[in-house]
Amino acid sequence: MRAASRVTPACTTAALASVSSTATTATRVSVAMAASAGDLEMIPGVRRLAETKRVWLLDQFGVLHDGVTAYPGAVDAARRLHESGARLYVISNSSRRSTNTLQKLAPMGFDPSWFSGVVTSGEVTHQMLASRGKGSTGDGGESDSDDEFWASLGKKCVHFTWSSRGGAIPLDGLDLETVTDPEEADFLLAHGTEAVNGAGTDDEQRAAGCTNTSLEDMREVLERAAARNLPLVVANPDVVTVGGDAGLLPMPGTLARWYAEMTNHGAVRLMGKPDRVIYDRVLEMTGSEASPEEAIAVGDSLEHDVAGANGAGVESVFVCGGIHAEELGMRRVASAAEVGDGSGIAPPDREKVLEAAEEHDCEPDYAVPVFVW
């Protein structure tokens, strides 16, 4: 397992137009050079791929559901893939821990027994924070400097979190003290973009002071933290996500981008896709029974899902009707009810998909309008 991406102060502003893509540019460019843009295949659904792909790495938001409601076509596709004997894994840039994922999917209509495992960026973040100062944070694949980073974080952090979207992320058991003033902090921890957690050493204390905070006010906190060169740990590198009828919603990756553009900012650690850290974890779950050639990743973010799959050496299915829909000339699906079985969603022009992929330095192998069988 490799340590998560690190964006250093030496990076230029131009290179930081996309923080998470900067973190793995070299890997993705080499993958892009090895593949031809003409290889992209537009397909109506994933049925044919089920004949050869036995391990499926499925993103959540924009693929399985819209953040509130499951896409009916996705429920059917997941069920059919499971019935075909494929092993399904949820691999998500979710701030929450893995156990919460299946708990959320079950009421939406997904049978938890269909899935062989879950890895979230929130889970990886929790594990890294829990093991800091206790020796190696992984399985030996990371460098001494990576271990030093986690060990040197300290205990006091300003915690950006959620309020309405499931509530604040629990921190109990991590030996952390949350503070609200960056002048008192050792580092910043970004799980959400709705609130700043209250000061305290346990979740009950934090909840009492958790305050809804605008993005503009969060930017001010980041500016004050940058003046002190504080490191930022980002538990969800996504910049935006689908939010049902609310449209696209800002995610912690937005804070990472802002921070990396500020003068004197500290190190930025992105804990999920496109970095290999999360792919390594889920591929470890598959054991030795499956080869990378039998695996395929499905996601709606070129910057995170497709680029991450490229870096991990697995093929990918790009779901066009998610966060890139308008960019591709598609009408963005406003709700899961509009998707249905997917038959009414027209695919985008193939050339537009290729142009978008080139802009994000990645190579999808297949593209579907929405995730359906």
In a domain, 128, yes or no: no
What CATH number did the domain enclosing 56 receive? 3.40.50.1000
My answer on whether 73 and 157 are in the same domain is: no
My answer on whether 157 and 258 are in the same domain is: yes
CB of 155 closer than 8 Å to CB of 176: yes
CB of 58 closer than 8 Å to CB of 89: yes
In a domain, 80, yes or no: yes
Query: What average pLDDT score do residues 212-231 get?
Result: 98
Distances (CA, A) of 209 to 165, 178, 180, 201: 17, 10, 9, 12
pLDDT tens by residue, 125-165 = 999 999 887 755 554 445 556 778 998 999 999 999 999 87
Banded pLDDT at 71 (limits 50, 70, 90): confident
| Domain coverage including residue 87 | 26-123+275-368
Query: What average pLDDT score do residues 196-221 get?
Result: 97
My answer on whether 17 and 157 are in the same domain is: yes
Residue 346 has a pLDDT of: 79
User: What are the percentages of helix, strand and coil residues in the chain, rounded to 5?
Assistant: 40, 20, 45
Residue 289 has a pLDDT of: 63
The fraction of the chain above a pLDDT of 90, given in percent, is 65
Instruction: Print burial letters for 349-364: b (CB count within 10 Å at least 16), e (below 16).
Output: eeeebbebbeebbbbb
Banded pLDDT at 333 (limits 50, 70, 90): low
Number of domains in the chain: 2
My answer on whether 16 and 31 are in the same domain is: no
Lowest mean pLDDT across 68-72, 236-240, 262-266, 352-356: 68-72
My answer on whether 242 and 289 are in the same domain is: no
Residue 145 has a pLDDT of: 64
Residue 151: CA count within 13 A, CB half-sphere: 12
My answer on whether 77 and 53 are in the same domain is: yes
In a domain, 141, yes or no: no
My answer on whether 258 and 348 are in the same domain is: no
Rounded to an integer, what distance in angstroms lies between the CA atom of residue 251 and that of residue 187? 19
pLDDT tens by residue, 109-123 = 999 999 999 999 999
Q: Which helix (H) or strand (E) holds 284?
A: helix 276-286
**Final residue belonging to a domain, choices 270, 298, 329:** 270
My answer on whether 41 and 115 are in the same domain is: yes
Rounded to an integer, what distance in angstroms lies between the CA atom of residue 43 and that of residue 47? 9
pLDDT tens by residue, 7-41 = 433 232 233 333 433 344 333 333 433 344 559 99
Residue 241 has a pLDDT of: 84
In a domain, 169, yes or no: yes
How many Cβ atoms from other residues are within 10 Å of residue 57's Cβ?
Answer: 30
Inform me whether the pLDDT recorded for 221 exceeds 90.
yes
In a domain, 133, yes or no: no
CB of 268 closer than 8 Å to CB of 234: yes
